[in-house]
A and B are shown apart, each in its own frame.
Chain A
């Protein structure tokens, strides 16, 4: 049976990557284009004004937001931030956590009991830690977008890699008990050789699956921060009247965050970034399912009942 999930994942992920790289080229409008508000007069009985938000139409495929920005354009421009920060942060988490985990798993003792501190820290979610660190930095920040994104990515790596480390560590400790490792050791292999020739090839698949899962976790984290108005690349806060939060980079999670109150009226404004984000998660999910099933087929155990 062909692994259609893997193929679906690969195809949709490449589609998303394509959009992230070349999206702005296909954008129907300039990034800052605002559809003007105006009036029309076709006769004494047929006149009125038209004002944003415009519903989806031929001119604006996904409609415009409350200020008249074309939503499709914003999505195409914002894609690169969401996608590449998600992938990049996950990759660095895996590289740091994975290499530390393998190294210390090989040299370390049996897994020590995880302390209570780790359990208690669960009461303070990761996004809250980042929230407190960034709240004064992200909103109306004097930093450049790229500086801010690097800072945010760095923090997301820091809060995330211990989890990867712990998982890889315990896997390595498990693998170390295998007979073939003992045999290689008895033959006089050094640590680096065991690591490179025996542990790493075995963990390669696991690391790949973890990588895709980490991408989903990072995207969730970005989204949660977006809900609390800390957008990737910075937030503009306009006061005077009810506070308005605007995402500078227009990343997808930020768009969801800034438009999240459109659940009663003008729902198309909220639907588009929401569906785009779900599509993003879906492609990575399919990829991870595909990898998971592929591995399961090779390392399967069978139940007795």
Chain B
């Protein structure tokens, strides 16, 4: 019941959000929002679902394409980046947080933390400037600064950006959890029994961190989705988000469909990482 309600809420939200740019008018410095336009747009979209018109989009003048046919390439490009970055950041986060929680070196924490506060777009621009600088001074082509075409996607820099930011978030939150777990009584008991540090980590610490990772996953993915927009835009990657900003004309169908595709993308990445966590549980938390 609750599930159904929230799905209906999300659909309504997407319909509304996509309609707002078309229904806002500014006349004589007065902002007005036309409810009528919104309801018309939604009505058109819903009737278009039946005859298939909602699944087309236009490019230029009178060139109509099928959305469902074209979207898969965009979708899988985004999915590829997100999955790779997601897996990497979860693994890096798990590994480093164990060390980070115990470390007394506050300056390393300063560095990692500051890296975490740097927004994605600044990181992207610095990476691009860095690559250009290295190329200009040594002639070495380290990585692609942007994608030139669909076949020549930039991979290294986008993946660095997409991995680093959620990984740092994970390191910071998971290390706090690790710290809490390490001060629990069962760790003291295990220590008193004479278990080795490594054994305590593998058998007691990691398995008690995993639930927190699961709970934090939505937050991590929200960060990654927001990064995806910036990364695809600045590196000129033809992913899903390019559909939102690419066209010169604002098409309601296109925007609504793409937003739904984004939700779908989110769910796919979410469940893939959940599978990874399940795998980790099999290894570390089996009884």
Interface residues of A (CB under 8 A from B): 5, 115-129, 132-133, 135-137, 141-143, 147, 216, 219-220, 223-224, 227-228, 256, 260, 263-264, 267, 270-271, 274, 277-278, 281-282, 284-285, 289, 293, 301-305
Contacts and interface: CB of A to CB of B under 8 A. Distances in A.
Interface of B: 2-3, 5-7, 9-10, 13-14, 17-18, 20-22, 24-26, 28-29, 31, 101-102, 106, 110, 113-114, 117-122, 125-126, 128-129, 132, 145, 179-180, 182-184, 187-188, 191, 197, 200, 218-219, 221-222, 225-226, 229-230, 233-234, 244-245, 259, 262-263, 265-267, 270
Contact of A303 (B20, B113, B183, B265): B183
Nearest to A281: B117
Contact of B129 (A129, A270, A281): A270
Q: Find the residue from B31, B132, B226 having the highest chain A CB count within 10 A.
A: B226
Given A120-B266, A293-B106, A305 B191 contact: yes
A285 B117 contact: yes
B26 A143 contact: yes
Contact of A216 (B117, B120, B230, B267): B117
A122 B180 contact: no
Contacts of A227: 121, 230, 233-234
Contacts of A118: 218
Given A125-B226, A304-B191, A305-B182, A281 B21 contact: no
Given A122-B266, A123-B263, A278 B187 contact: no
A164 to B, nearest CB: 14
Contacts of B18: 132
B29 A303 contact: no
B20 A263 contact: no
19 contacts: A120-B6, A120-B266, A121-B10, A123-B221, A123-B265, A129-B17, A143-B31, A224-B121, A224-B226, A227-B230, A228-B245, A281-B117, A282-B114, A301-B179, A303-B101, A303-B187, A304-B184, A305-B187, A305-B197
Nearest to A302: B183
Given A274-B125, A277-B122, A303-B102, 10 more contacts: A115-B6, A122-B219, A128-B244, A133-B20, A137-B24, A223-B121, A284-B117, A302-B183, A304-B188, A305-B200
A263 B129 contact: yes
A98 B187 CA distance: 35
A117 B234 contact: no
Contacts of B102: 303
A157 B128 CA distance: 32
B110 A289 contact: yes
A270 B125 contact: yes
Q: Find the residue from A122, A129, A301 having the highest chain B CB count within 10 A.
A: A122
Contacts of A216: 117
A261 to B, nearest CB: 10
A116 B245 CA distance: 28
A122 B117 contact: no
B122 to A, nearest CB: 6
A117 B6 contact: yes
B3 A141 contact: no
B255 to A, nearest CB: 8
Contacts of B101: 303
Contacts of A277: 122
Contacts of A220: 119
B179 A132 contact: no
A123 B234 contact: no
B191 A124 contact: no
Contact of A301 (B113, B180, B244, B265): B180
Q: Find the residue from B119, B179, B180, B267 having the highest chain A CB count within 10 A.
A: B119
Contacts of B110: 5, 289
B3 to A, nearest CB: 6
A210 to B, nearest CB: 14
Task: List 4 A-B pairs, minimum CB-CB distance, nearest first.
Answer: A122-B222, A123-B266, A125-B226, A117-B6
A230 B29 CA distance: 19
Contact of A142 (B26, B121, B128, B263): B26
Contacts of B10: 117, 120-121
Nearest to A163: B219
Q: Find the residue from A143, A147, A305 having the highest chain B CB count within 10 A.
A: A305
Nearest to A220: B119
B122 A260 contact: no
Contacts of B120: 224
A220 B119 CA distance: 6
B183 to A, nearest CB: 5
